[in-house]
Structure 1
Amino acid sequence: MFRWYRYSTRCYVYMPDLPVSVNIERGDEFRNHSWFKRGWTLQELIAPTSVEFFAKDGVRLGDKNMLKSQIQEITGIPVSLLQGTSDVSSFDTEERFRWAAKRQTTRGEDLAYCLLGIFGISMSIHYGEGEEEATRRLKAKVFKSKQRHDEWRKRVENRIWQVPFERNPCFTGRTAELDHIHRQLFTQHHTAKVAITGLGGIGKTQLVIELLFRLRDEYQDCSFLWIPATTNESLLQAYRKAAQELCIPGWDDKETDVTQLVQSHLSNENAGRTVLVFDNADDIGIWVKQRTPKARRMLDCLPKGDHVSILFTTRTTELAIKLISKRECLVELPEIGKRDGKELFRKLLVKQDLLNNEDDVVALLKWLTYLPLAIVQASMYINQNKCDLQTYLSLLSEQEEDVVELLSYDFEGHGRQDSDGKNPIATTWLISFVKIRERDALAADYLSFMACVDTKNIPQLLLPPGPSRKTKTDALGTLQGYSFITIPSVDAAINIHRLSHRKISGSIGGRWP
């Protein structure tokens, strides 16, 4: 006879038929007790953190940790499992079935039902179906569960991590954006595609790198592929490298369309969950135009399936909208704000006492418009030249040419991910300006003109006339798409980003290519 009580992670087993003087080490009374012969005893021993045993008059005999050797001998359950140092899933199915051999239950079906927790599966309970049918259903469930687990383990062993960057230890903030992108990537019933847009230097690439490292820890069976999409050549080269990593037959055949190879392979569910990143997808022509008369557009070369998640970083909203399937998947990245800006600055500065002057810190961050890359660049200049914040602020008040030179200061490391390790804020925007001029000459002319006026409240009537109202609207749309300007409403005055205004105005006179 016995009674047992279970409270959360603790279980108490009362055996009043055992005398207080029972010899647990050598006697058979404890060993042959009916409690150990029950089917449900297995779960009651394994699941709770603590199981305590009591004899007649409530005398405590010990707990499962103290009595682990005796309980292992009686039940066959390994000591490591009783102590909680190993998980039940680490033992093969045959061994777990051996633990249940020769056990007794009041109902025949319970011989199968009592093992559900041991195998970590759920199954409908039908009393009256009989022991044989319940056992048959249990074994079928266990087989499928084992099959799924084996497939998962295989995906874990074969997963690809083709992300050529280390995690940035100075990454700061962006919690809301990270959570939103995560939801969009992993709650879809179709190919999930998310585009992250924003001004050059806003931290798009850094955000994605941080996200991937978090996802790698959470989704152990997921592969991650990084595709630099700056040019057609870099994109195709990365596709071929991905095909090689994935061991796709024909990857080394120069005549084969490698984009089709990768697309077909990853679209197959057997490839497993995959996250692809297309970084710096700024050239709209690569995505919407055919590379050759026979080759397809890159937009048509993306893998498909609800096991596929795709991330794009781009400076242009126009392309971002073409790449995604719904509005929620467009993430327009803002500056990081005062609090996160100060925290990033703190992580970067070598001389922490520079932060003691709160007014100087706020003034500098405000001047830099809380732009992450500008903050990193300023920090590196201050660290390497051992100047204080007042000195740096005074340099920013110099003539335009000096400010442009300051904004063009090269630096390495601290999370910047360009191939040559050097891409200051001025160079980043120069790339954007070149892209704009290639696409829309009128937009480039407007940007140069506005740089000669002011940063705020520029009337649209001041702009040089374009060939038509549509071309003017398109040009302003292009500049907004690259986040160089903002227009609160139709026909409203134009505001130009302060740092881009400084760079462009200081570069008039032939210094822009």
Structure 2
Amino acid sequence: MRLLRFDQASMLHLTDFGDKTVPPYGILSHRWGNSEVLFEDVANKSYKEKDGYRKIEFCAKQATKDQLQYFWIDTCCIDKWNLEELSKSINSMFLWYKNATKCYVFLPDVSVPTATGIAPQAMWEESFRKSAWFTRGWTLQELIGPSSVEFFSSEGQLLGDKKSLKKLLHAVTRLPVKALQKYSSDDFTISERMKWADGRETTEEEDIVYCLLGILDVSMPASYGEGREKAWIRLKAEVNSSAPFIIPFARNDKFIGQESHFADLEATLFRDKQTTRMAILGPGGTGKSQLALKFAYRTKRRNKNCSIFWINASSIDGIHQSYASIARKLNIPGWNDEKTDLKQIVKLYLSKEDAGQSLLIFDNADDDHLMSAGLSKTGAAALIDYQPQSKLCSILFTTTNVDTAKRLASRNIIELQKMASDIARSMLERYLDIEVSITEKFEVELLLQELSHLPLAIVQAATYINTRNLRLHDYRTQLSKQDQRAPKSNSASTKDTIQEYDTQNPVAATLLLSTDQILCDSPLAGKYLFFMACIDRKDILLELLDAPSPFEREDAIKTINSYKLVTRRPADSALDIHQLVHSALRESLRKRGILEKWTQTAVKRLARVFPDDKHGNRSKWRRMLPHAKYALSHSPRDQEDMGKLRLEFKCADVLLSDGQYKESAELLMQLTRKRILGSEHPDTLTSTGNLALTYMNQSRWKDAEKLFVQTMETFKRVLGNEHPSTLTNMANLAATYWNQRRWKLAERLEVQVMETRKTKLGDSHPDTLTSMANLAATYKNQDRWEESEALDEQVMETRKKKLGDSHPDTLTSMNNLSDTYKHQGRWKEAEVLDVQVMATRRTKLGDSHPSTLTSMNNLAVTWMCQGRDAKALELMEECVRLMRHVLGTTHPHYISSLGALTSWQIEISGVSSLTFI
């Protein structure tokens, strides 16, 4: 949990307490506006520019009055770009409000001009009763949970609290006075608590159900798009379930699967001998996930003691979110500790026999080596590492990849073939809103033939028919006209309307009908479809969809959603688009000759919204990076406009910051070869300098030195000796000397940089601190320990105050000071710092980040020097495994760590055992 505080200089700070004891805090209850301060605004110190800063000042003022140093506001205490963190936060929200010392309700639609004291109730009661705060679903838990809730007008005037206003609150909300005064779930039945949301509203219809999860003390994954009624059914089933059941989708009664498939699944998966694995294999759109979903609900009905869990296996991030939900649901010790490896605790828990019978469904397992957003293939993790080992645990995969299916399930594979005519007919009739007449039976058969009996095409066709209220014959007629290539002359959007499709692809045919209609209904919705075709199809962030207003954007998304072309993810502020729909859209744009134009549009949009590489933007750039990579990789190679160049610069910077040195170097080499800006343009020089940095991170010191010398001379000539960019380049050149053990050359440059920065920027400026840390390292390598320690301690303490304990620069300075302690044999002091650095880096950057691996190596060395051989060996073995995958077997850091491990093993046992590599 993160909390806010102001320091003595009125600077706002976020403190992450992790597994530490959380101090008393105040909490804000409010409705979101259009300019709220977000997590990245606080991290990047840009919070005062937003209108929402007024609410932060208000909350801080009230907390100070109540002698509370810390306070919490949902807009900026949660990194909403980090999906795993967001998922945890949503399910922890009720407890956070309940545990708050004070809750401050800010009512912008209640105005009281009184300057001091509690305003007379007669002045504000009418507007208080009508306040929109009482109509919202999510504010219900914010009213009930905290023991102390105080209400304030838009001027910050205190109106009263839950105790003094209990009669008025009861009259407005119809909630029992006992629930308002001292809520305990034991005092009310489930049905009573469910009724408390009656009459309240939410933006998404399903949220009126989801807002009750904390009050009902249950956890259930959100499934936006299922509708209110199905969400209610799932909630009731969750409340009454005898075994854990985490399925993020409502039961789809309209989907029909072959009974032989269900029989095969049951016969294979629930053999009582060993862990059984099975895969459903088939091309996109054939109904793999729907078959697995129906099997999950059937298993729940037939075996009430079987725990069933649905896992998004499309990426590491998806798996982590799924495992977080499982750990929370099972209340596994450590589930809410940020330092816990959720994969391991869930895997170990379900591997125990006393965990009982379970079914795990890994959906979209198209690659058995998973990647996180923004990570390269070398940072991938094997899917097999996430699976429990128990004869009571059955595992089902859905995949489009034959080789993956064989590796994961051996011969236990169900391959989905063309759907039988009778099943396809029954599915279409179930999806249609109107009953098919006897005279239309022949039309059904003809239509199904045109749709190739493909489930996805059937669903899209039925949705279009329902939305447009068409007869089957009319729809089939429109479908057949898709091969007429002439554009519609009477359409205002003729230049963007798709008229062609591949007759061998029924999804393309149904899609293009829907797309043409969408363009007529909402040109903005049509543009969104074209834009989405030019970026990655998963996790399409709403922020990427440009619109005159949030309301117009929402209307356009609703139009697209009405034709079932996207899957909405409101909790993540994102959309997904089916792979076949995405491919069909791209092919259609290509045939119309506008694919390149829309790719350019996508690149320009991404260049505008893609964040810089500041620490607070890490989660944001990791989610945007797949879209940037996709758009750039599909952009014409000879395209040299400023938008593309700017996006390439940004991608190279964040790849470098995220430890992906090889990818960053490849992109930077391309940039340095481009002549659009000129060889002496600051951006060109910056990209050359960053390329040298990637060489440094790959220990290519001579290559780095050559580039730094070249750019330093140019910087001096173009910008001057004291320009920040010149000084940065000089510091980097000093680092290359340092790594070549050319200490005096390094020291001369570092002293010059440090003194200039002190004069120009001040002693506590981040750049000055960096140069002090560099000089300390040089002193260290000349055995000048007192000088080194003094600088290291000064840098660390200043960074802690300015940046916080978990900022990467603070961690680096802690690591530097630890190294100084080690050289003096002060192992205990070094260990304290090493443990903290490694744990924080694991949480913030992930296990595979190069900085995390460095800290693992450092701690292992510290333990070995203390004689704690077993712990040191275990940690170094893990470090070497990860280094091999992330850095490669030729990287100096891998070779060094492997050498240390080998020598330790020989020293301890006399035998080198490297079978783990």
TM-score of the superposition, structure 1-length normalised? 0.50
Q: Which has the higher helix share?
A: 2
Instruction: Mark the structure with the bigger radius of gyration.
Output: 1
TM-score of the superposition, structure 2-length normalised? 0.29
Report 1 or 2 for greater relative contact order, CA contacts < 8 Å, sequence distance ≥ 6: 1
